[in-house]
Structure 1
Amino acid sequence: MTKTKLAPIVLAVAALMAGCSSSPKTTSLLEQARDDYTVAQGNPNVATYAPLEMRQATEAMAQANVEANERGSDDKINNLAYLAKQKIALTQEVTKRKMAEAEIAAAGKERDQMRLDSRTNEANAAKLSAERATLAAQQAQSNAAQSQLAAQQAQLDAANAQRQTQEAQARAAQLEAQLADLAAKKTARGIVITLGDVLFGTDLSRLTADGMRSAQKLADVLQQNPQRKVLIEGFADSTGAADYNQGLSERRAGAVRTALLEMGVARERIDMRGYGESFPVAGNDSAAGRQLNRRVEIILSDDSGKVIAR
């Protein structure tokens, strides 16, 4: 029986226990029954597991309270209180038993669920093991394929490296042949082409016809090797004022640059410096030595366009 159905009876018991204007009789047994009833009433499990027994205990308790309010005999009050006390004890006992049965049933369900979970876990573990084996086989196949690709790539890289080496050797041989007419020399700074004093007008910065032909040969080399750049360096001997010699070295280097520009070489591929009397290649105490010092040196860059500066 639900708490809703018990409510009127409980209220009646409470009213009877509260008494009327005159003091009701009571006995120690009735007081014990009332205490037991209060404990049972406060047990939340009673309404779930022993509602019928609690209803009967409530009715018995109500009868005992009525007799006490009407100031019946002690024997009758005690008999009714004893009966209520027994019904209350039965209510508590039924509640305990049914709670134990519920716990046993719940434990059985829990065991069944644990068995089911265990079997599910075993099945999942077997599935996972199979999936791992499949992945391992696939990974092995992938590794084998990657190894094969790596071997093929290594062969391609080796072939490309050989081809690049051959192309570099061919370019070097071609460049050497192209520079043969310019009497180019290999130095620590790279390939150097020297335009001597005879290729310029006497004490002038203008190129002679032979000088222009040399410049044209150099322009042809640069056109056929677009990855290379040049650094043009002008020099003078020590005769005359140093400022004048500095200016002459710069003007002669500039004349070569202008000639290359006019022959189609891009401006960003050409750099120039004038060093005046610095860096002589011969003594200035003889005419032959001074003539060697009056020169323009053209340093050809490497394939990356790098020129080593002084």
Structure 2
Amino acid sequence: MQIRKTGAGRGAKWLNDSIHIIEKQARPILLGALMVSVLATLPGLFGPLAMLALVVLVFVYPVLMGGLVAMARSIDAGGPAAPSDVFAAFRNGRAGALMWMAVPQIVFGLVVVTMLAGALGQENLQLIATGEEPDYSQVNRGAIPWMFLVVVFGGVATFSATLFGIPLAMLDGQPGLRAIATSLRASMANLGAVLVYLLCMFVAIVIASVAMLLVGMVLGLILGLLGEAAQAAGQMLLSILLNAGVMAVLACGHLMAWRDVFGAEDAAGAGGPDDTIREVSAEL
């Protein structure tokens, strides 16, 4: 598969075009993203099984994101879309390939946790395990710059593995590991565009978060009259809505980046998310 090299400025266009896709049919893709956002809050409700539920969510999330990407493709092509299309990858057989997208995130998370544990030290870990305040004087400050580098470069690498990997697995029908490898090569060839896109997304998320914070302050004052439970529920609702908006934009960004770098023709996209693999197979 040929990888096209684009200019750094294309990263900003990916974000801009993502918003235009949402404007075409905001209801289905935003409701689909809202369903994913709600599912993301469920692990905390499982009590002792919260960690297991979180692991399941880590593997399910890229599958649902693949459904959102296919939905975005259908919407952009003027085709049908429904919130339930977020589960399209389970219906068209691409769920297994998309679950591989969780592997880079898990590896990245394990590396960060290991480095954090090493920086805190065994005594502080024991204090944290018993619910006590850690002794920050025992923290290995020399490890902090290395942690910062790992978080920055590892985070970019992890994002790069899925930026093109999710649409490659969902829309092009590539196996999971091959999609990840191809995505990393495409990201390296278009590193400027990827970094600009990440920067634009970061700025957009900060602006949206500040707006939500202001709304949350007003809503908190109103719901505070009804009690702490109502206030906490209001704050959680705002968080879910913010996450849903970010997921919808990210899904459309995956589509725009994939189309721009791989020169994909999307005329077949009007058939709907469930027809994605059948259409790709027919073209091949």
Flag whether TM exceeds 0.5 (same fold): no
What TM-score does the superposition give when structure 2 sets the normalisation length? Answer: 0.22
Kindly name which structure, 1 or 2, has the bigger radius of gyration based on alpha carbons. 1
Higher strand share: 1
TM-score of the two chains, using structure 1 as the length reference: 0.21
Q: Comparing both chains, which one has the higher relative contact order based on Cα–Cα distances under 8 Å and sequence gaps of 6 or more?
A: 2
1 or 2, which has the higher helix percentage? 2
